[in-house]
């Protein structure tokens, strides 16, 4: 399934003039972008650029200092409880650590959102849990505890739970972090396959270049010094054609210009 373009349909996520930080410390300032139906948007950048801060504001864990985030037209910081409950049904989050409850079985972990946001019978919930486990390649692991699974398998369970309600949007926080290269690639391909099969809009925070080139339809690149976006678009195009040395260096695994070097454009350190 091809991702839609701005001309095809309205955005699923709209970020308007978002300023975010902690107290008097501003991490991001006046950031705006959109995410369109069916696309995988990757948020990337160097350490400390605000990727995790942006993610926490997108899913409503933190409230922006200014601006707003709309998901399917609903402000994630709305005070309308009915709107927020509907929004939470439309959003899944796969956390970096998996964020599974260690004392609960895999099936019980995945069933949590189904019990919270639906009135489905237990038999139906059990069937849906088995379906989601099958989707992520873990059929038959219903009664295992998280501690009995590898790190990669735990991340797959986290993804299955994020997909439990068939949300319109799924957020991923560093999905490949802590995984060996082969397991990381397998998870990337799973994310890509689910996006293609279900048309789920996905927002992924990562700095892993292999993951970016494998899954991203589009990227938004943040920069610590700018406190905002310095590039957006197809990562393959940016790798080849960006004239911003910070962007070109990132995508081509080049060191910074701190030692006074030049890139292929003859540009000095900024």
73 Rama sector, left if φ>0, alpha if ψ -120 to 50, beta otherwise: left
Q: How far apart are CA 177 and CA 74, in angstroms?
A: 31
More confident residue, 264 or 218: 218
76 within domain boundaries: no
Residue with tokens 């996520």: 13
- Domain annotation covers residue 218: yes
In a domain, 163, yes or no: yes
Residue 12 lies in a domain: no
Q: For residue 15, is it within any domain?
A: no
What is the domain-level CATH number for residue 237?
3.40.50.300
For 119-161, write each residue's pLDDT tens digit: 999 999 999 999 999 999 999 999 999 999 998 889 899 999 9
Q: Which domain holds residue 115?
A: 37-61+81-251
* Residue 86: its H or E element: helix 81-89
Residue 94 lies in a domain: yes
Q: How far apart are CA 105 and CA 111, in angstroms?
A: 10
pLDDT digits (tens, 9 = 90+) for 179-214: 888 888 989 999 999 999 999 999 999 988 999 999
- Structural domain count, the chain: 1
The DSSP output letter for 34 is E
What 3-state DSSP class applies to 161? helix
């Amino acid at each position: 399934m091809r991702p839609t373009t701005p001309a095809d349909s309205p955005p699923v996520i709209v970020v308007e003039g978002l300023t975010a930080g902690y107290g008097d410390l501003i991490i991001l300032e006046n950031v705006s972008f959109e995410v369109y139906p069916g696309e995988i948007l990757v948020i990337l950048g160097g350490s400390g650029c605000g990727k995790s801060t942006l993610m926490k504001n997108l899913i409503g864990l933190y409230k922006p200092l200014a601006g707003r985030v709309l998901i399917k037209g609903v402000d994630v910081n709305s005070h309308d409880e009915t709107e927020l409950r509907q929004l939470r049904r439309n959003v899944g989050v796969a956390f970096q650590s998996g964020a599974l409850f260690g004392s609960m079985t895999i099936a019980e972990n995945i069933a949590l959102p189904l019990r919270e946001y639906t009135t489905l019978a237990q038999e139906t919930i059990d069937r849906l849990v088995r379906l989601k486990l099958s989707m992520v390649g873990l059929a038959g692991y219903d009664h295992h505890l998280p501690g009995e699974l590898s790190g990669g398998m735990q991340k797959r369970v986290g993804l299955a739970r994020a997909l439990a309600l068939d949300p319109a949007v799924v957020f991923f926080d560093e999905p490949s972090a802590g995984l060996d290269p082969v397991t990381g690639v397998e998870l990337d391909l799973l994310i890509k396959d689910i996006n293609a099969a279900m048309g789920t809009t996905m927002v992924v925070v990562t700095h892993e270049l292999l993951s970016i080139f494998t899954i991203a339809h589009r990227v938004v690149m943040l920069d610590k010094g700018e406190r905002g976006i310095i590039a957006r678009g197809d990562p393959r195009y940016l790798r080849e054609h960006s004239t911003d040395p910070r962007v070109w260096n990132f995508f081509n695994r080049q060191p910074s210009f701190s030692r006074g070097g030049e890139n292929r454009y003859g540009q000095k350190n900024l």
